[in-house]
Amino acid sequence: MNDRSSWPLWEVFLRSRRGLSHQHVGSLHAPDWEMAVQNARDLYTRRGEGVSIWVVESAAIHASDPDDRGPLFDPPADKVYRHPTFYKVPEDLKL
Amino acid sequence: MADAAADPREAAFQAAIDAERSVEPRDWMPERYRATLIRQIAQHAHSEIIGMQPEGNWITRAPSLRRKAILLAKVQDEAGHGLYLYSAAETLGVSRSELVEMLQSGRQKYSSIFNYPTLTWADVGTIGWLVDGAAITNQLALTKTSYGPYARAMVRICREESFHQRQGFELLSQLSHGTPAQRAMAQDSVDRWWWPSLMMFGPPDDSSPNSAQSMKWKIKRVSNDELRQRFVDMTVPQARALGLGLPDPQLRWNENSEHYEFGPINWDEFAQVLKGDGPCNAERIRVRREADAGGAWVREAARAWAVKHKPRSAEDAA
């Protein structure tokens, strides 16, 4: 059964309509990118869910470590001055 | 449970579950959580794949082009559902070929409902109405399951399943309001599928060994018996609208509980079919193996093509 496992895994991204960005919808196996696009069409757009498909080999994606969640994302939490609500302005002004 | 005390990560994991935080593929998770999910998602995926057979049986004999197009689309959806679920299972570290192998060797199960034969055209309607109706009841609860990829697959599947149930209801409705022979065919079909549909929710809560832990991990959110009751309550008025009877003399509305009461389920039959002695167990696996073997040269050819045409370097690709 090596034939099947040697088809790499692809991540599928769909643009649901023009004006929106592509979003991850799932994954599939295919021997090359062209078949991956064909399969994604059959698998993820049977009801007109997309107007554009991206496929990316899963192995090409590098991700942050979930265990680093704290240290990696903490710094913004104490920079409250990045949010508009940090600032006091006269209430009767439109600002 | 001894491990739970030993591993502090397990307590943190449970706390995250209790706080309704989704588990995602690269998070740490207890091995038993992972194994339970692999087993459940794989079984679910296998059911979608094997489920193509009883209905596929009628594609060439659909009575009209409209019905044939609908049935083709439905069977194609089942294939899609199987693939969404296999992908979800693969995020847990099991490979597609292992999953296919476990189905074909019988080491993993699929829903026992698909071991019953589709003897008449009415069965296509009944499967859509009852079997998919039961599946939707179960799957709606699973859209909130704690494992993210599984929940997302369920959302997608539920969105597509409602067409399945409606086409089945419409098909049966045409038969039940048709000639006496059509009506009799519809009734015979419902008589055969009613009890197996109730069995789809699995054993009663007091004899369902894995349920308690699955509920604690929020893999399962609603118990087997409660889902079964929801299904019965939803289905009885639909049967009335179809003008078809349900084969249970004890079925009646209970004013106090505001639920339908129903007769005892034949769990011996369930156990027998699960064990492999249902009407179609051997055939379903034989057909699946043949399809897999028959498609091997196509997969190999596609792979060979991909290797031959793969750009060897950036310059080649340009």
pTM of the complete model: 0.91
> Which pLDDT value is given to residue A42?
96
Cα(B47)–Cα(B112) distance, integer angstroms: 8
Could you give the C-alpha distances from A17 to A14, A34, A53, B198, B246, in angstroms and in order?
Answer: 9, 22, 11, 41, 46
> Which pLDDT value is given to residue B310?
81
Q: The dihedral of CA B32, B37, B42, B44: what is its sign?
A: positive
Residues of B in contact with A7 (CB under 8 A): 299, 302-303
Cα(B213)–Cα(B166) distance, integer angstroms: 35
Cα(B145)–Cα(B44) distance, integer angstroms: 14
User: Comparing B57 with B210, which gets the higher pLDDT?
Assistant: B57
> Which pLDDT value is given to residue A5?
56
Q: What is the token pair recorded at A3? A: 């034939």
> Which pLDDT value is given to residue A2?
47
Question: Is the pLDDT score of B210 beyond 80?
Answer: no
> Which pLDDT value is given to residue A22?
97
B112: DSSP letter: G
Closest C-alpha to B224, from B233, B211, B237, B235: B211
> Which pLDDT value is given to residue B289?
97
Residue-wise burial string across B269-280, b where 16 or more C-beta atoms lie within 10 A, e elsewhere:
ebeebbeeebeb
Looking at the complex, does the CB of residue A1 fall below 8 Å from at least one CB of chain B?
yes
What phi and psi, each to the nearest 5 degrees, are found at residue B246? -110, 140
B71 vs chain A: nearest CA distance in angstroms? 14
What is the ipTM, given to two decimal places? Answer: 0.87
Question: Is the pLDDT score of B199 beyond 70?
Answer: yes
Interface of B with A in 14-43 (CB under 8 A): 24, 26-28
For each of the domains in chain A, give its residue range(s) and CATH number, in order of start. Answer: 4-63 (3.10.20.520)
> Which pLDDT value is given to residue B318?
47
Q: What is the token pair recorded at B33? A: 């959580």
What is the per-residue pLDDT across B121-179, written as a single tens digit (0 to 9) for each? Answer: 999 999 999 999 999 999 999 999 999 999 999 999 999 998 999 999 999 999 999 99
> Which pLDDT value is given to residue B312?
63
pLDDT in tens, chain A (95 residues): 445 557 999 999 999 999 999 999 999 999 999 999 999 999 999 999 999 999 999 999 999 887 777 778 877 778 889 888 899 999 888 87
Closest C-alpha to B244, from B129, B163, B142, B120: B129
Closest C-alpha to B55, from B71, B77, B40: B71
Q: What is the token pair recorded at B83? A: 């693939």
A12 vs chain B: nearest CA distance in angstroms? 11
Q: What is the percentage of chain B residues whose pLDDT exceeds 70?
A: 96
Cα(B51)–Cα(B113) distance, integer angstroms: 9
Q: The dihedral of CA B140, B143, B149, B150: what is its sign?
A: negative
Residues of A in contact with B302 (CB under 8 A): 7, 31-32, 35
B262: DSSP letter: -
Interface of A with B in 6-35 (CB under 8 A): 6-7, 9, 26-29, 31-32, 35
Q: What is the token pair recorded at A53? A: 């498909």
Interface contact flag, A29 B84, Cβ < 8 Å: no
Question: Torsion over CA of A55, A59, A65 and A67, rounded to 10 degrees?
Answer: 110
> Which pLDDT value is given to residue B316?
54
Chain mean pLDDT for chain B:
94
> Which pLDDT value is given to residue A72?
82
> Which pLDDT value is given to residue B315?
53
Question: How many CB atoms are located within 10 Å of the residue B166 CB?
Answer: 14
What is the per-residue pLDDT across B255-275, written as a single tens digit (0 to 9) for each? Answer: 999 999 999 999 999 999 988
The number of angstroms, rounded, from the C-alpha of A18 to the middle of its chain's C-alpha atoms is 17
Cα(B108)–Cα(B100) distance, integer angstroms: 9
Closest C-alpha to B33, from B182, B200, B174, B210: B210
> Which pLDDT value is given to residue B95?
94
Contact by Cβ (8 Å): B150, B88: yes
Interface contact flag, A7 B299, Cβ < 8 Å: yes
Cα(B304)–Cα(A2) distance, integer angstroms: 13
